Amino acid sequence: MLELLIVLVIIVLGFSVVALNLSSGTGAFEHKAVVRDVVSALRYARGQALMRHQEMTVAFDLANNTYKVGDRDKDYSIPESIAVTVVTAQSELTGEGQANIRFFADGSSTGGRVVLDRGEVSKQIDINWLTGQLEVEDVTSD
């Protein structure tokens, strides 16, 4: 009976360690999901610009940590724990904390960079102005 009790205590301790590890990884998972969603939104906008033969934008509202894709009414939110920085053409800065990445009918874009920073983890999405292609890379702070 004592051996059974010791085994149960060990199992409970093991599960508590696993639970702690899972909860600490939630932020990293959330960050990856946001990066994936923003990349998908940018690719969608480029694809729609090519298919419709008209300009499409992804509009970032940095004050509210949201973005909007093209002419959709829905605002997509980014958690407050993730800081967003957008570098784009001067003509695409539409107001205080407002910036657009614009894709043209030929697939090109205004180009730019979106940085999603969560503490020590930072991802950078580069948008090539000539081709509209996206490249995601890790950013290390030196």
Instruction: Let me know: does 82 contact 27? Beta carbons within 8 Å.
Output: no
Q: Which of 2 and 52 is assigned the larger pLDDT?
A: 52
Per-residue pLDDT at 142: 54
- Phi then psi dihedrals of residue 118, to 5 deg: -130, 95
SS3 for 35? helix
What per-residue confidence (pLDDT) applies to 95? 84
pLDDT in tens, 9-35: 888 877 776 665 555 556 788 899 999
Domains recognised in the chain with CATH numbers: 2-138 (3.55.40.10)
The secondary structure of residue 82, as a DSSP letter, is S
Predicted structure pTM score: 0.81
Average pLDDT, the chain: 90
DSSP β-ladder status, 75-77 and 134-138? unpaired
141 pLDDT more than 80: no
